[in-house]
Amino acid sequence: MALHLSEDLFREIEELSTQVCPEEAIGLLAGEAGGTVKSVLPLRNIAPLGRFLADPYEQFQAERAIKKAGLKLLAIFHSHPWGGANLSPEDLSFAQHWECAHVVFAFNPDTRHQWELRAFIFKQGSVEEVPVKIEGELLLKSNIKDRA
């Protein structure tokens, strides 16, 4: 499976991440079973700085909206300001309880010129990377884009 994201939806993730910085952004990506993301649903982060935990009621409402729209929960995304796009030990612990992908948007808030987007899925006790395709551009492990 690969995740397919339009440039507009990617920009939503980028904008949300920069707006809430230095906190981590969090949200859900909903779409079609084939991996095409159709909607970004931002959630309020109620965790302390450097961690993420979605507001439970907002998450419930978002999951309900996804189901009502006939879409599927494809991924949970969160940001890593000033960090890399690898899953932290806490992220790995969280990921093993979900069947969807986990997307990490890492960026440098000081410049906004460099970012990295990676997706992972937890399967049978191990983590696998999921390709992310944005507007025809395949972003693979350790591919950092310069947006200057």
- Which amino acids are annotated catalytic? 24
Check: CB of residue 9 under 8 Å from CB of residue 117.
no
3-state helix, strand, coil in the chain (%, to 5): 25, 40, 35
Helical ranges in 3-124 per DSSP H: 7-20, 56-68, 89-95
